[in-house]
Amino acid sequence: MSKDIYDLTIIGAGPTGLFGAFYAGLRSLKTKIIEALPEPGGQLAVLYPEKMIYDVPGFPHVMARDLVRELVEQTKRFDPTYIFEQSVSSLRRETYKGEEYWVLNTDSEEHWTKAILISAGIGAFTPNTLPVTGISEFDGRGVFHFVQDRRPFRHKKVLIVGGGDTAIDWALNLNQWADQITLIHRRSGFRAHESSLAELRETDIEMLTHFELETVEGTDTVERALISSNKEDDRRSIDVDIVLLSLGFKASLGPMLEWGLNLADQRHIQVDGLMQTNLPGIYAAGDIAAVEGSEPLSLIVTGFGQAAIAANAAHTYINPESKLFPGHSSELRL
């Protein structure tokens, strides 16, 4: 019985994986993308589809869902195979007709491939929450951990909890959309970009530092929140319709921890300058990769560059006589 064997199988259809599929197509690699979610885009599609992105080359600004759409359109030229709603649980090395291949196992089938690119972002992720009365009770009824759709926020009173880029970005994004926005952060220092903070300070959004959320209250939906200062005696009850918890995510490599990959830590796979892991023919790129001798830089643009390197390196692994440099795309007949 013949097997459907791919040249390159990409785990993860986020921006890095999608651009990796495009570059693999440039090198004429038969490519498959396996994604645990029901659609491409990774975190951009699930968590931040309406978030504006400012650091993608060629785009002064681009909405996350639009970037995903354009990346998918870019890959169409080479017609990669998409497999959605499957998670790779394990892999093994198999010999078939005298050649060695990787076999990736999901809960429903096996996928045979010559090389693998792991571009699974931060791995499996769940949003951080708070041990606060009312959070679980009003989940989806006024309490949100991320924004997939801005429409429920229209003309609402919104309380945003957090001090990172996501909290600041959503405060700016929802300004002029919501009727009122209050941002609280438990410290005075923020982890967001200085330019975003400067922009936020120019708005009429109320920023309260050293404040924490104590209670969320309401009947059928959220109606108010009790907040308090951790620095002085100041407790306030504020009328709100929505509480947005922008507290980051817990990430885990999950089953990948058992695959025999060398890890930089519990969140990153160790790779060399060609994005090669310690296992032959397996590469990693994007947020999940840690290049030896360098600190991980979790940016979309970094993932794009690493994906291009990995796809070209995979081509030379599959075709040892080939060159790493693919030539310029402007010189290719596409």
Sign of CA dihedral 249, 255, 256, 261: positive
pLDDT of amino acid 43: 85
DSSP string, 300-312: HHHHHHHHHHHHH
Q: Which residue matches tokens 């509480």?
A: 243
Could you count the other beta carbons within 10 Å of the beta carbon of residue 146? 17
Amino acid at 155: H
Listed by start position, the domains of the chain span 5-125+250-331, 129-247
Q: Which helix (H) or strand (E) holds 10?
A: strand 5-11
| Topology, domain 5-125+250-331 | FAD/NAD(P)-binding domain (3.50.50)
**pLDDT band for position 334 (cuts 50, 70, 90):** low
For residues 184 and 120, what is the distance between their CA atoms, to the nearest angstrom?
32
Model pTM score:
0.79
Express each pLDDT in 97-122 by its tens digit. 999 999 999 989 999 999 999 999 87
> In CATH terms, are 5-125+250-331 and 129-247 the same topology?
yes
CB distance 117 to 23 below 8 Å: no
pLDDT digits (tens, 9 = 90+) for 94-103: 999 999 999 9
Q: 250: closest CA among 264, 230, 271, 266?
A: 266
Q: Does domain 129-247 have CATH number 3.50.50.60?
A: yes
pLDDT at 251 over 90: no
